[in-house]
Chains A and B, each alone.
Chain A
């Protein structure tokens, strides 16, 4: 646990008052983290926080382990303590235990933490223990800059429960220096008769990944491989599977549920679209690096970010890691939407539609919330607001290991990345456009499953798909097993209870 005790906020206020103008330089001198931007005016800016006085009060935060999200939590806690005089205790917890570490005291009626960090898909199970975000924060200018997708992700039935601090989505990352290389384009054409381009479908992805698998295509003396993916059981692999499934299974002409048929609450997870995706994924075990079937998220980031593979898809971190100054492949990578498919399953007609389909997966990501039983609601919300203020946010998204990614409209400007992070203008433009398109351009998005017992559903997917990847079961058998398990979970928790919660996510998808 990190204990951070601040100097009096009042003394800083006095200092600020003496310096007749609250300039950006004044705050960036004290807090070098925001040296690129200085303080940016707003409700929760450094200037505004310095006017608060929380001396003698203690804020306790449960967050993720360092560095991802844990490091920025601790850094902003230190800054918050210095500005307001509060004492801030930061407790770091491994990702797998974040849910239970908060849930156990929640269920016992205890409030050991004022703020809990977690994933946004915890919302249904956690919401009754969390304090909704007060209107004054929801309506502030800082919040108006948050994209609608991330307002939705952090809200339940129109009420904001979690505070937006991060943005997450799955998208394709590829080696631009290979895909755009005329020599390789010619070689690929000669050997396969096809164009080497940013893959538009998962089939193209597989063909290119297989072609570039197991040889030294970047002449660094090491073997390179086709794709790095999160395939390790129980290490967020189910999210990777859903990313591969959306193109085959999310039909924009069919409303009423992606994971379940909302009317009957029958699982759709073993439908032909999902089976096709899992078949592709099993095939992918042939073009991942040796041991790739055991890659967790960290391995995926290191593998693609370290220049080992042609492709990758998951959260932003692998891309940001690849574009950091110390990366061997800085300015050699590209971002694109997740590949699509040449056909999409129509569960109503019970047949494939032979038409191109693509669907962004707005996967869950980091978020934070204030415990209902906390006695420090105002201070806790001020901390979260300060965490996500414009100056902190812009500094945070430039540091890959922080795990803070774009979720504000102002983040999707290419010049931001060119000027502050030294990205190639073309790559920055492509990155910003890809993310923005997913946020606001698509009308066929899939939102994460957010229902009671979400972990039971996701755990069943992880077990079933990992059996298929390991060759223990065929894709159809594996997903039949998952569907059978899902039915049992629905029966245990109650179809109406699940339906009520699932309808909220379906409404977001169907409103498009």
Chain B
């Protein structure tokens, strides 16, 4: 087989790659340089006007980005801590181990939109069961309409929904750890806490970093929870970047501008995750 034949066999794969990856990104780039909207649906060329607008005249996008950072970092941190805890519980031989493993995974297997509707019903301030119960203690938190508490409510739903994913990855990691370091620690007389901090946690660092990055990527796209739970409100208290891009693109039909928002957001995310990954490696692996 000569050199040309090799390329011939690669061609189908390359074409698929072109169709599903390169073309959409290329088209988005082109779209971001146009003013395509509901009134003028065409790929005209307006240069970097959309990007200038974004960087000089759209504080709302950057506010939404700040909010997203807060929500995603906080929820992923909580998911990691809780997920690790649950994984440690079912890692050892305990009664009903299989039952608990499945039980802990259930939230992740439910449909996010449907579950968010149920959470919204729970937290409905005048008709929901949560405040109905709390009213017996003369407490009626404004879960969805307080500027501060609504963020907390979004976090609760996100942590509930996605902790199982973290649990699943960390449990798989725990189950794959070698036994020798634990035996050595045991012989040296290390207790469970020292074993965790000096053996389990360092050994789990690479897996933890992978799990955290995967979840951060997912959490940074948070959209359905916000859409169903609060519509970004009250005011703009829970509006995140992806929800804002959704509004500009599919509510206001500013396709050109939303393409510019999406690409900028993508670049920021790539840079952010690269830095976060390096920091995590530094802290969790090399720090060891």
Contact = CB atoms under 8 A, between A and B. Distances in A.
Contacts of B235: 233, 463, 466-473
B253 A291 contact: no
Contacts of A299: 124
Contacts of B142: 290-291
Interface residues of A toward B: which range?
Answer: 35 or more
Given A233-B232, A466-B235, A291 B126 contact: yes
Interface string A449-477: 00011011001000100111111110000
A125 B39 contact: yes
A453 B37 contact: yes
Interface stretch (B9-17, B66-74, B143-151, B209-217): B143-151
A294 B250 contact: no
A505 to B, nearest CB: 16
Select the residue from A234, A471, A472 with max chain B CB neighbours within 10 A: A234
Given A125-B39, A452-B38, A472-B236, A291 B125 contact: yes
Given A467-B236, A493-B39, A456 B231 contact: no
A99 B253 CA distance: 9
A32 interface: no
A478 to B, nearest CB: 9
A455 B39 CA distance: 11
A290 B145 CA distance: 9
A96 B144 CA distance: 20
A466 B236 CA distance: 8
Contacts of A469: 234-235
B253 A100 contact: yes
Contacts of A463: 60, 235-236
Contact of B233 (A107, A125, A294, A492): A294
B169 to A, nearest CB: 33
A175 interface: no
A292 B126 contact: yes
Contacts of B127: 302-303
A234 B234 CA distance: 10
A232 interface: yes
A208 B145 CA distance: 24
A456 B252 contact: yes
A293 B234 contact: yes
Interface in A424-465: 452-453, 455-456, 459, 463
A97 B246 CA distance: 11
Contacts of A289: 125-126
Contacts of A473: 235
Interface of A: 96-97, 99-100, 103, 107, 125, 225, 232-235, 289-294, 296, 299, 302-303, 308, 452-453, 455-456, 459, 463, 466-473, 488, 492-493, 497
5 contacts: A233-B231, A291-B143, A308-B126, A456-B37, A469-B235
